[in-house]
A and B are shown apart, each in its own frame.
Chain A
Amino acid sequence: MDVELFSGRSILTMVHGIVLGGGALVGIAVALFGMVALRPADGAEPSAGPQARNLAWLLIATAVVLWLTVIAGTYVSFPPYRATPPEGLTDLSDFPRSLIQSNPDTRWLHSFAMEIKEHMPWIAAMLVTAAAFITARYRTQLFGDASLRRAAAVLLAISLALVAGVSLLGVFINKVAPLD
C-alpha cells in the first residue's frame, strides 16, 4: 500500500515556513549577534577584515531568503489557504481558512494571526534589506562607526521580533488547519 508521507501542498508549506522562514530567522539572529559581538572594545582598533565581509554576505543572503519567504508565502502558500470551498461541502479540511472560521474558538487564527502574517513579514524584509545594504556598503567602517552599527543592529532587532512572532503564528495556524 502506498502511503503519501507529505502532499505537494504540505511540502510547499514546509519550504516556505521551515526552510526559507527558518533560514531567515536564523540568519537575522546570527547577524544581530555578530553585530553586537564583533564591536570593538573601548580603544581597540575596529575590524574591517574578514569578519565584516562575512557579516555583509550573511546579511545579503538573509535578505534574499527573507524576500523569498514572503513572496512564497503570499503567492504560493496563501492562495490554497484562502481558497473558497464548494457550496454545501461539510469536510473543510482542504480549505484551511474556512475550517478556521467555522469554529468560534479558532476564528482568531484568521482575523488576528493570518492578517498579521499577510503584511508584517514584508515590513521585516524591507528592514533587513536596509541593514544588509549598510553592512555591505560600509563594511570597512561599520565597526568603527557606532551610529551606523547601531542603526543596522536596531533594524535587525525589530526584524527579528517581527519574523519570530509571525513564525509562531504560522505554527499555530498550521497546527489547527494544515495545508495537507
Chain B
Amino acid sequence: MTMPNPASVSGLPNGPALAACLAAGIGAFAMGFVIILNEIGLFSAPTLYAPAGGVSGRTTLAVVAWLIAWGVLHAKWKNRAIVPRRVMTWTFVLIALGVLLSFPPVWGLFG
C-alpha cells in the first residue's frame, strides 16, 4: 500500500492527505459504533455535561478517537507517498458504516 520513497512523486507526498481522510472515516465510524453500543446497552459513554445528556459523552468520544487516529496516521504517513485507492475505499466504507449506525431505524436491527 505504501511506497517509502516520496521523492518519486511531484510536490508534497500525499500521505498526510490520506491520513486526514482515513482518520475522518475512523471518526465517523467511531460515532456510529459508540451510538450502537449505547442503543444495545453494552456501553454508555459518560455524560460530560448533564443538561445535554449522553450525547455530550458520545460525541466527545468520537472526536477523541478521530483526533488520535489522525495524529497516529499523520505521524506514520507524513513523508510517504501512498496509493490512494485502497485508503479511500476504506475511508468511504467507514463513513458509510458510521452514517448507517447513526441512523435510528438501523438501531432496531441490533435488538
Residues of A within 8 A of B (CB): 70, 74-75, 78-79, 82-83, 111-112, 115-116, 118-120, 122-123, 126-127, 129-130, 133-134, 137-138, 140-141, 144-145, 147-148, 151, 154-155, 158, 162
Q: Which residues does chain A contribute within 8 Å of B31, judged by CB atoms? A: 119, 122-123
Q: Which residue from A79, A137, A154 sits with its C-beta under 8 Å from B51?
A: A79
Q: Chain A residue with minimal CB distance to B18?
A: A151
8 A-B pairs, CB-CB below 8 angstroms? Answer: A75-B56, A82-B52, A111-B104, A126-B24, A129-B20, A137-B12, A138-B11, A158-B99
Flag if B102 contacts A119 (CB, 8 Å): yes
Tell whether B49 is near chain A: CB-to-CB under 8 Å. Answer: yes
Q: Chain A residue with minimal CB distance to B67?
A: A126
Flag if B17 contacts A155 (CB, 8 Å): no
Q: Chain A residue with minimal CB distance to B39?
A: A115
Q: Chain B residue with minimal CB distance to A124?
A: B28
Bound together, the chains give a CA A134 to CA B74 distance in angstroms of: 12
Q: Chain A residue with minimal CB distance to B66?
A: A126
Q: Which residues does chain A contribute within 8 Å of B105, judged by CB atoms? A: 112
Residues of B within 8 A of A (CB): 10-12, 14, 16-18, 20-21, 23-24, 27-28, 31, 35, 49, 51-53, 55-56, 58-59, 62-63, 66, 84, 88, 91-92, 95, 98-99, 102-105
Q: Which residues does chain A contribute within 8 Å of B84, judged by CB atoms? A: 147-148, 151
* Closest CB in chain B relative to A139 CB, distance in Å: 10
Bound together, the chains give a CA A116 to CA B24 distance in angstroms of: 18
Q: Chain B residue with minimal CB distance to A119?
A: B102
Flag if B28 contacts A126 (CB, 8 Å): yes
Bound together, the chains give a CA A152 to CA B24 distance in angstroms of: 11
Q: Which residues does chain A contribute within 8 Å of B102, judged by CB atoms? A: 116, 119-120, 123
Which secondary structure dominates chain A's binding surface? Answer: helix
Q: Which residue from A116, A122, A134 sits with its C-beta under 8 Å from B103?
A: A116
Contacts A74-B59, A79-B51, A119-B59 given; indicate if A138 touches B20 (C-beta within 8 A). Answer: no
Q: Which residues does chain A contribute within 8 Å of B14, judged by CB atoms? A: 138, 145, 147-148
Q: Which residues does chain B contribute within 8 Å of A145, judged by CB atoms? A: 11, 14
Listed from nearest, the 8 A-B pairs whose CB atoms lie closest are A79-B51, A130-B24, A141-B11, A130-B20, A126-B27, A123-B28, A147-B84, A119-B102
Contacts A147-B14, A151-B88 given; indicate if A122 touches B51 (C-beta within 8 A). Answer: no
Q: Which residues does chain B contribute within 8 Å of A123, judged by CB atoms? A: 27-28, 31, 95, 98-99, 102
